[in-house]
Amino acid sequence: MRESQGCLVKAISIEGLSARLGNKDVLTAVDLELARGEWLNVIGANGAGKTTLLRCILGSVGYEGRIDISGLSEEGALSRARMIAYVPQVPVIPPGMAVIDYVLLGRTPHRGAFAADSEHDLSVAATVLDRLDLHGFSNREVNTLSGGERQRVVMARALAQETPILLLDEPTTALDLGHQQDVLDLIDDLRHERGLTVLATLHDLTLAARYGERIAVLADGGVAITGEPAEVLTVPLIAQHFRANVRIIDDPAGPVIVPVANRSDRETP
């Protein structure tokens, strides 16, 4: 976490957040804070409200309560887009759009929707494509790529926004193991280089333990617990909130969560 003159500098402060989708109360009492430069992973069972939480912060879902974004001087989609980049689980990609053009959409908040791409815009886009192992894909149509390649292109667009806050909704779902590491390592590098604040949702609990500084568990509409990975990822907590039987291996880089098969109801050959 970053500090200034001995005091914690907050990037995001959430208090009493409630959100309703249709007839369902998804979030009812969320209190959460992120320090500037911190990486916080949000975990929870399916339907716990992880995506809704990110969309509330983004301003795309109505809510009650308070969300304060440090540095956000005025409301509006453009102002938020200069402060917050978002990688959704299911991105909307215009048909026929080339990779380079899609990534350059990340520069729109800085130059306007109809302004020409500057040399800086092109340089930023080229840099993130290179760092995400996409340098040879610039002229390919996004929709012709594999799922993992598309996911990296969506990540490239978000990184091209050069915002101080990055929201990631299951960013590694479509990626193979090597590219999962590449993407998360790159985000961590940028976090340290630029003081980037990262809020991510992850299903993979081992990745959640190894990347980031704290974990928050969403359950029953609120935050059940927050803390360092070793404090949060325990066998009883995982059994309670995920109904999963696991074994935890202590490792210097963070806990390793290993599923344990329940074979008691199987016949012995």
Percent of the chain with pLDDT over 90: 68
- Of residues 2 and 198, the one with the higher pLDDT is 198
End-to-end CA distance of the chain: 54
Element (H, E) at 257: strand 256-259
CB 190, CB 199: distance < 8 Å? no
Cβ–Cβ under 8 Å, residues 207 and 180: yes
Residues 233-246 as b/e (b if ≥16 CB within 10 A, e otherwise) read beeeebeebbeeeb
- Per the CB < 8 A criterion, the answer to whether 142 and 150 are in contact is yes
Q: Are strands 197-201 and 39-43 parallel, antiparallel or unpaired?
A: parallel
The tens digit of pLDDT for each residue in 91-141 reads: 889 899 999 999 999 999 888 667 788 999 999 999 999 999 898 999 999
pLDDT tens string 22-38: 889 999 999 999 999 99
CA distance 204 to 69: 27
Give me the residue label for tokens 């990340």. 106
Q: Cβ neighbours of residue 82 under 8 Å, at least 6 residues apart?
A: 109, 110, 161, 163
pLDDT at position 74: 67
Interatomic CA distance for residues 267 and 15, integer angstroms = 51
CA 202 to chain centroid, in Å, comes to 8
- Give the Cα separation of 134 and 209 in Å (integer): 27
Cβ atoms 2, 192 nearer than 8 A: no
What is the predicted pLDDT for the residue at 3?
45
User: For residues 169 and 54, is the Cβ–Cβ distance under 8 A?
Assistant: yes
Confidence at 263, pLDDT banded by 50, 70, 90: low
pLDDT digits (tens, 9 = 90+) for 54-92: 999 998 999 999 999 987 866 767 788 889 999 998 888
Mean residue pLDDT of the chain comes to 89
Look at residue 6 in the predicted model and tell me its pLDDT.
43
What pLDDT is stored for residue 173 in this prediction? 84
Beta bridge partners of 24: 21
The token pair at 133 is 């192992």
Q: The whole model's pTM is what?
A: 0.89
Q: pLDDT digit string (tens) for 205-228?
A: 999 999 989 999 999 999 999 999
pLDDT at 8 over 80: no
Nearest by Cα to 244 from 255, 233, 252, 253:
233
- For tokens 């200034």, name the residue: 4
Per-residue pLDDT tens over the stretch 145-160: 998 899 899 999 999 9
